[in-house]
Amino acid sequence: MIIVSIIAIAVLIFGISIYNSLISKKNQVTNAFSAIDVMLKKRFDLLPNLVEIAKQYMAYEEHTLTNITALRTKALDPNATEGDKLSLDQQISTAVSGLMVSVENYPDLKANDNFLNLQRTWTESEEQIAAARRNYNATVTSYNNAVMMFPSNMFAGMLGYVPVSVLATTDEERKNISAKDLFNK
């Protein structure tokens, strides 16, 4: 009788542990996405200053600067979904990368301390977003494993949990950051 009770208690503790683990993994996925969101917001906040400084020097890049401002406005729209924000971030990254290449033609801007500082902060935010995306993917993989593997898949079925897609790897995550490329020195 005692042995049966011990086994029953052990099974109960094991079941509770798996159940809690599943809920915790699900919450971690949400938190991991929030971390990306915070980083994106931080990056979008850099854009007005970047555009403002660039405008003073880059007379021929009017179109790119207007495009960046328009993309930022869309990204900060309260109705924008997480998917929209990620897609807009990609477009902003491409536009800003193009802008950074054009800086070569504007030696005064290249020498501006405020611009250099913004350029560093931008690079930093790019790596922080890449880290947040990698964290999201690791969290999703761990959650998906729990949803699909026995015995936690039984609880996942009861809770209606389904696997979540990982984010595609961006170029920034794949390539090694090169100071030479970024600063064209």
Partner 1 sequence: MATLINEALVSDLEVLRKKIAIRKIQGWSIIVAGVIIIVVASMFEQPIIAIIGALSLIPGIVILIKIGSETTVYKNRFKNEIIGATLSNIDPSLTLAPTNGIQEEEFIYTQLFTKEPDSYKTEDLISGKHDKTSFYFAEVHAQYKTQSQTKNGTKTEWHDIFKGIIFSADFNKHFNGTTVIRPKDLSSSIGAWFSKNIFSFGDKDLIELESEYFNKNFVTYSTDQVEGRYILTPAMMEKIAELNERSHYSISLSFINANMYIAFPLDQNYFEAPIFSSLLRPDFLSDDIAILQFMFNIATELDLNTRIWTKQ
Residues in the site for partner 1, rule: CB under 8 A?
17-18, 20-21, 24-25, 32, 35, 39, 117, 120-121, 123-124, 127-128, 130-132, 134-135, 138-139, 141-142, 173-174, 176-177, 179, 182-183
Please identify, using beta-carbon distances, which residue of 45 and 127 lies nearer to partner 1.
127
Q: CB 30 → partner 1: shortest distance, Å?
A: 14
Q: Is the bond preceding residue 107 a cis peptide, omega within 30 degrees?
A: no
Question: Does residue 136 contact residue 32 with C-beta atoms inside 8 Å?
Answer: yes
Please identify, using beta-carbon distances, which residue of 28 and 67 lies nearer to partner 1.
28
Q: SS3 sequence, 2-37?
A: HHHHHHHHHHHHHHHHHHHHHHHHHHHHHHHHHHHH
* Cα–Cα distance for residue pair 168/89, rounded to 1 Å: 13
Token pair 């501006």 is at which residue? 112
Please identify, using beta-carbon distances, which residue of 60 and 150 lies nearer to partner 1.
150
Closest C-alpha among 85, 173, 177 to residue 132: 173
Question: Does residue 65 contact residue 51 with C-beta atoms inside 8 Å?
Answer: yes
Q: CB 155 → partner 1: shortest distance, Å?
A: 13
**Residue 25 contacts by C-beta under 8 Å, 6 or more apart in sequence?**
139, 142, 143, 146
Please identify, using beta-carbon distances, which residue of 64 and 123 lies nearer to partner 1.
123
Please identify, using beta-carbon distances, which residue of 21 and 69 lies nearer to partner 1.
21
Q: CB 63 → partner 1: shortest distance, Å?
A: 27
Q: CB 167 → partner 1: shortest distance, Å?
A: 13
Q: CB 14 → partner 1: shortest distance, Å?
A: 8
Token pair 């029953």 is at which residue? 8
Please identify, using beta-carbon distances, which residue of 87 and 128 lies nearer to partner 1.
128
Q: CB 164 → partner 1: shortest distance, Å?
A: 16
